[in-house]
Amino acid sequence: MDELRFWKYHGTGNDFVLIEDVAGRFELGDELARRLCDRRFGIGADGVIRVAPSDDADFFMDHRNSDGSHAQMCGNGIRCLGKLVYDRGLIERTEVRVDTRSGVKTLSLHVEDGVVGSVTVGMGRARFARGTLPMAGDPAETFVGEPFEVDGRSYKATAVSMGNPHLVLFVEEDPDDVDVPRIGPLVEHDERFPERTNVEFVAVQGDGVKVRVWERGAGETLACGTGACAAVVAANEAGLVPSKAPARFPGGLLQIERLPDDEVLLTGPAVRVAEGVLDAAWLGASGR
């Protein structure tokens, strides 16, 4: 491979390197993903998304976290994918079906003057059974509004799957005051989560929630789409916010709506930052 063209996008500060591969000729390995995401020696991002072909949808989102691990689903990343395929003329419709490792999702692109400014994603159903995360214990039981002890402190917590695992920890203080880099990895690797978990630190503020997130395989990020859904759904389940509520992150605001059948809609921005070509020598050094 002489060169590899890339695009850089972000959704509320959650940033991604995107690679267009609709012909299915490129393999995204874990080593290359880690190098691409390196903020000093690579491009720098929270994750890499290969826009790949799909037999069941318009595209497949082949997503890896910054540590090279596969991601089942990413609400911010899939919005960026939706904007990319429209920007690049790969699709002219504003309804896009994208296959992910947690199933096919439908995107509604909100276009003004020919530009995609925001995207609504049908994120699928929020599920509470331990077996859907997975979480240790009876697979049919739930972990909703239960005490969760970590680092010498007990939190009121709810475990919820949005196609990937989340543990929502409700905090009394402002999430800005929480030591997320210390507590986040302790929960991510807690033995009760055999496949690790994402962690949301949530405080109810006004009509919605304020959130900081520790993402499985990526660390703390400025926003998380599935985390926003998990946070609002957990707060709504506890009667703390309405079924349609904003989730405020350090990187910006996401709007969440929980429908009566537990389907969840996520709406937020997608922003194109840059495009470029990876140097052939750099690619060769990556072993790919």
> Which of 37, 80, 224, 229 is an active site residue?
224
Q: How far is CA 148 from CA 107, 123, 126, 214, in A?
A: 35, 26, 20, 16
- pLDDT per residue as tens digits for the range 72-122: 999 999 999 999 999 999 999 999 999 999 999 999 999 999 999 999 999
For residues 197-218, give the mean pLDDT.
97
pLDDT of residue 281: 86
Residues 76, 136 within the same domain: no
pLDDT of residue 288: 45
SS (H, E, C) the chain: CCCEEEEEEEECCEEEEEEECCCCCCCCCHHHHHHHHCCCCCCCCCEEEEEECCCCCCEEEEEEECCCCECCCCHHHHHHHHHHHHHCCCCCCCEEEEEECCEEEEEEEEEECCEEEEEEEEEEECECEHHHCCCCCCCCCECCCEEEEECCEEEEEEEEECCCEEEEEECCCCHHHCCHHHHHHHHHCCCCCCCCCEEEEEEEECCEEEEEEEECCCEEECCCHHHHHHHHHHHHHCCCCCCEEEEEECCEEEEEEECCCCEEEEEEECEEEEEEEECHHHHHHCCC
CA angle 272, 257, 226 (to 5 degrees): 55
User: 280 is in which domain, residue-wise?
Assistant: 4-122+270-285
Residues 214, 91 within the same domain: no
Residues 48, 162 within the same domain: no
- The Cα 151–Cα 283 span in angstroms is 42
For residue 175, the domain's CATH number is 3.10.310.10
Q: How far is CA 233 from CA 78, 228, 241, 260, in A?
A: 20, 8, 9, 11
Say what the pTM is.
Answer: 0.95
Residues 131, 245 within the same domain: yes
For residues 220-227, give the mean pLDDT.
97
First CA to last CA distance, the chain: 8
Residues 42, 151 within the same domain: no
Residue 43 has pLDDT above 50, yes or no: yes
Residue 258 has pLDDT above 80, yes or no: yes
Mean pLDDT, the chain, integer: 96
Residues 141, 179 within the same domain: yes
Q: Which residues pair with 56 in a beta bridge?
A: none
Residues 153, 231 within the same domain: yes
Residues 216, 254 within the same domain: yes
Residue 224 known to be catalytic: yes
> Which of 37, 74, 80, 229 is an active site residue?
74
Residue 37 known to be catalytic: no
Q: Which residues pair with 214 in a beta bridge?
A: 199, 220
Residues 132, 194 within the same domain: yes
C-alpha closest to that of 268 among 46, 117, 69:
117
Residues 75, 190 within the same domain: no
pLDDT of residue 1: 57
Q: Count the domains in the chain.
A: 2
pLDDT of residue 285: 82
Residues 138, 255 within the same domain: yes
pLDDT of residue 284: 83
For residues 225-242, give the mean pLDDT.
98
Residues 148, 161 within the same domain: yes
